[in-house]
Amino acid sequence: MALTEKEASQYSPNVLAFYGDSVYEQLVRREVVLRGSTNAGRLHDLAVKQVRASYQCEAVSVIEPMLTEKEADILRRGRNAGGISVPKSAKPSEYRRATALETLFGFLSITGQHDRVEQLFNEICKALPVGD
């Protein structure tokens, strides 16, 4: 079941980011597994690099120019969301941009725009390769 964009827009950015975090992490895990068989520890290390706030912050810079007006608005809502606790391992500005990315991925996924999620994720992977 998918929500309409209007319904999804009623959700707080933090709720969309909560969901988007899992969407993004699943994409990352699939990507590292498809790169080739290795041990689980190595897969974990590769995945962690891509789900860090600093990496996701860079990912926002990659996809920002290709966003629609609606997507850019969702991204802004995520970046400006209140009630975010920044972990000590991240800079506040990076963490806010990472939250924005997760908000966008959550919004797109919950509204059934899976092709768009894949398109944006593929652009991120092309622009920001993680060492093998």
Per-residue pLDDT of the chain (132 residues; tens, 9 = 90+): 899 999 999 999 999 999 999 999 999 999 999 988 788 898 898 898 899 999 999 999 999 999 999 999 999 999 998 777 766 777 888 989 999 999 999 999 999 999 999 999 999 999 997 755
DSSP helix/strand/coil, 38: coil
Closest CA to 20 of 111, 99, 105, 115: 105
Catalytic residue among 21, 45, 73, 115: 21
Query: The whole model's pTM is what?
Result: 0.93
9 class by beta-carbon count within 10 Å (0-12 exposed, 13-18 middle, 19+ buried): middle
**73 carries an active-site annotation:** no
Per the CB < 8 A criterion, the answer to whether 12 and 76 are in contact is: no
